[in-house]
Structure 1
Amino acid sequence: MRVLLTGATGFIGQHLHRALLAEGHDVVACSRQHPGLPCRAFIPCDFAQDLKSDDWLPRLNDVDAVINAVGIIRETGLQRFQSLHTDAPKALFKACAECNISRVIQISALGADEQAETNYHLSKREADDFLAKQPLDWLILRPSLVYGPGSTSSELFAGLAALPLTPLIGDGQQPVQPIHIDDLVKAVLTALTSKSPSRQRIDCVGPRALSFQYWLNGWRKWLGKATAPSMRVPFSLAQSGARVCAPFSRLPVDAESLQMLQRGNAAPVEPFTRAFGFTPQCFEHSIEQRPASPAERQQAGLFFLWQLLRLSLAFMWIWTGLTSAFWYPVSDSYQMLSAVGLSGVALPIALYAAALLDTLLGLALLLNYRLRLVLLTQVAMMLGYSLILSFCLPEFWLHPFGPISKNLPLIVASLMLYVREGDAP
């Protein structure tokens, strides 16, 4: 079967892509970047822009089935719920109807139902409702929390579990019913067969609901750690903090995510079992079968430290720029600039231009704006500062405060963030 897979570079999409290949299907990968896996064809697409059915019609030639696995947990930049979850999928589904595609599978979300309140759930439900009205052989899968290798949310939960105190929202008893990625993929593959259910909305959940506290303790067990003391955070305080921190954070959590957690994320598993003929594995079994590797334990321990490293570097650049512009004696700054060969009008231009650039780079780092470019620019500036001072003021190498030598670990820290950013989803 020739299958068009949207979101082929995402967590769910990558696992689906490998499984489809293993089953002998021809995959037409549709995403912003090449998935890096074999495929019959790669079609660049952007759900933020491909919002008309005409954008999709040429991509559906000779396609037998379509799987839409595009989704984001929080909005960033041009990645908005309305376009990615609603407008582009509706355009795709309309094109599928025009091309008489034999099978359309929509990966939605548990909670995208009549009780939906958040923009995330509402945007998913609108696309689901539109698909349900099309004259297609459709199936809407609504997975709960999906965990497994490569999941950003799994990295978050492992990072939370690695903390010395287990943070809980309220009493920590919110129900969650996570499903392993292998079980979700198995369900999707089954949905491509002629014996699969049709024109249904099926909740994809694990065998039983767990409390959020039990869920985090399970991740600690996976990491090989003993149960830690818990720290309860009132829901209102956690949600307010998430709103304040959202512009500066790249974590897959915001105020809406906490609202969805507070609502609960559970459903009966029996409809899933009847539809696909198997019972999903329980969380306890999955972590016993595959304990965390040393690299995964290290990654969990570093999860929040990466965020602190970025914020501390942003603070350093902003503070340096403001100090140079407003608080450090101008005469002393001019004296240093004179030592490197500047004079006259060049002195204030160099001083305030450098201060402005330092501040802007720090703000860009704080606000997650084009991080790789910003980090490379900062590395280049630190190298340039170090070379100029080494040539013009070599005695600074012997200064007890280390104005040059301190650049070395800062350069390495920036390069580490640069590499980390390249691996980010």
Structure 2
Amino acid sequence: MAMKVFVTGGTGFVGSYVLEALRLAGHLPYALVRSGSENKLPFREGLVIINGDVHDPVSYSTFLKDMDAVIHLIGIIREFPGRRITFQRMHAGATRKIVEESVKQGVKRFIHMSANGASESGVSGYQTTKAEGERIVISSGMRWTIFRPSVIFGDPRGRMEFVSELAKPIKLAPIVPVFGDGQYKLEPVAVEDVAKCFTGAINNPAAEGRVFHLGGGTVMTYNDVVQTIGRAVGRQSTHMVKVPFGLMIPLANALGGFSFFPVTGDQLKMLGGGNVCPEHDYQKVFGVTPKPFTKDNLAYLTPRR
């Protein structure tokens, strides 16, 4: 059955794929977009654009009255407090705004993007505010589903994506720095599979009231991830040099607030802690066979001219 679905974060990496998956499934997506960002949407046809700001419910409240579901995808991976871009504001504050307005307007179904590792006792503000956002959703009274993806990979189509960022130095430098020993484990999941889960949850009773971890099913060390990316960009073997976390974290803490510096101290702490999912129930509930993290599936790193 076709449904009207209100989507936040539709201009982002995952959001662009979710909008496409919704349209493919026959639903009508309504995308909340800040004025001037419409050109970041993946398409216009078959999409209702709402100019507004998630922090300003007046800008979108009337649309929520007719929605069958809300998909909330807004999130950030690093803070820039001078631009009012903080984990607290974007993960907790934005979630509280959209949840409260959804309840007020009678929305019954709410699907939320969190992150693997979200925890009140997390090692970073990213993790603790993701956990706070989850608590807001769970206590809303709506029929909710929460997704906690691991590292997401896929063609960024001009957006930020973990693998594409890692590929830049691998393509250009003879030696690639690896933080720590590189033996910490990751479980990359394809963005197309993440989008299928969000779309598949909308009208699926088996998904309601549940938290799903989204991992690709293959656990890899960070070193293996780097080597796989290297092969995808044409390197037989990628030479790596280990940089101690004890050296990098203080430096990243000092410079992470500047956009020119590639990582923050919190990001390094999370990376060193690994990113592996404790369960894979999503595969059965949503009928998803994970797309593996292989050289062939990273072809987007070397686009044909």
Same fold (TM over 0.5): yes
Please name the residue that 2:299 is paired with. 291
C-alpha separation in 1, matches of 2:109 and 2:182 = 40
1:211 lines up with 2:188 in the alignment: no
Q: For the structure 1 residues 260 and 55, does the alpha-carbon distance in structure 2 shift closer, same or farther, using more than 3 Å as the test?
A: same
| Range with bigger deviation, 236-245 or 14-23 | 236-245
Please name the residue that 1:45 is paired with. 52
Q: For the structure 1 residues 40 and 293, does the alpha-carbon distance in structure 2 shift closer, same or farther, using more than 3 Å as the test?
A: closer
C-alpha separation in 2, matches of 1:290 and 1:131 = 34
Task: Calculate the TM-score normalised by the size of structure 2.
Answer: 0.88
Task: Calculate the TM-score normalised by the size of structure 1.
Answer: 0.64
Structure 1 stretches of at least 4 aligned residues deviating more than 4 Å after TM superposition: 53-56, 292-296
Please name the residue that 2:104 is paired with. 98
Alignment match of 2:8 (pick from 6, 16, 29): 6
C-alpha separation in 2, matches of 1:292 and 1:181 = 13
Please name the residue that 2:277 is paired with. 267
CA drift of 1:253 comes to 2.5
Aligned partner letter, 1:46:
D
Whichever structure has more strand as a proportion of its residues is 2
CA drift of 1:135 comes to 1.2
> Structure 2 stretches of 5 or more lacking a match?
none
Q: For the structure 1 residues 214 and 6, does the alpha-carbon distance in structure 2 shift closer, same or farther, using more than 3 Å as the test?
A: same
CA drift of 1:169 comes to 1.1
8 Å CA contact 1:160, 1:216 repeated in 2: no
CA drift of 1:65 comes to 0.6
C-alpha separation in 2, matches of 1:46 and 1:192 = 23
Q: For the structure 1 residues 125 and 105, does the alpha-carbon distance in structure 2 shift closer, same or farther, using more than 3 Å as the test?
A: same
Alignment match of 1:87 (pick from 89, 93, 105): 93
Please name the residue that 1:130 is paired with. 136
Please name the residue that 1:15 is paired with. 17
Please name the residue that 2:242 is paired with. 232
Helix, strand or coil at the partner of 1:125 = helix
CA drift of 1:114 comes to 4.5
Whichever structure has more helix as a proportion of its residues is 1
Helix, strand or coil at the partner of 2:90 = helix
Aligned partner letter, 2:29:
V
Helix, strand or coil at the partner of 2:7 = strand
C-alpha separation in 2, matches of 1:294 and 1:210 = 22
Alignment match of 1:159 (pick from 155, 165, 168): 168
Aligned partner letter, 1:137:
R
How many residues are matched? 292
CA drift of 1:193 comes to 2.4
Please name the residue that 2:149 is paired with. 143
8 Å CA contact 1:66, 1:101 repeated in 2: yes
1:25-424 matches, within 5 Å, as 25-32=27-34, 33-34=37-38, 35-36=40-41, 37-38=43-44, 39-47=46-54, 49-50=55-56, 56-76=60-80, 77-150=83-156, 151-162=160-171, 163-250=173-260, 253-284=263-294, 287-289=295-297, 291-292=299-300, 294-295=302-303
C-alpha separation in 2, matches of 1:127 and 1:55 = 21
Higher relative contact order (CA 8 A, sep 6+): 2
Query: Over alpha carbons, which structure has the higher Rg?
Result: 1
- Tell me how large the CA RMSD over aligned residues is: 2.1
Q: For the structure 1 residues 210 and 290, does the alpha-carbon distance in structure 2 shift closer, same or farther, using more than 3 Å as the test?
A: closer
Please name the residue that 1:344 is paired with. none
> Structure 1 stretches of 5 or more lacking a match?
299-425
Aligned partner letter, 2:177:
P
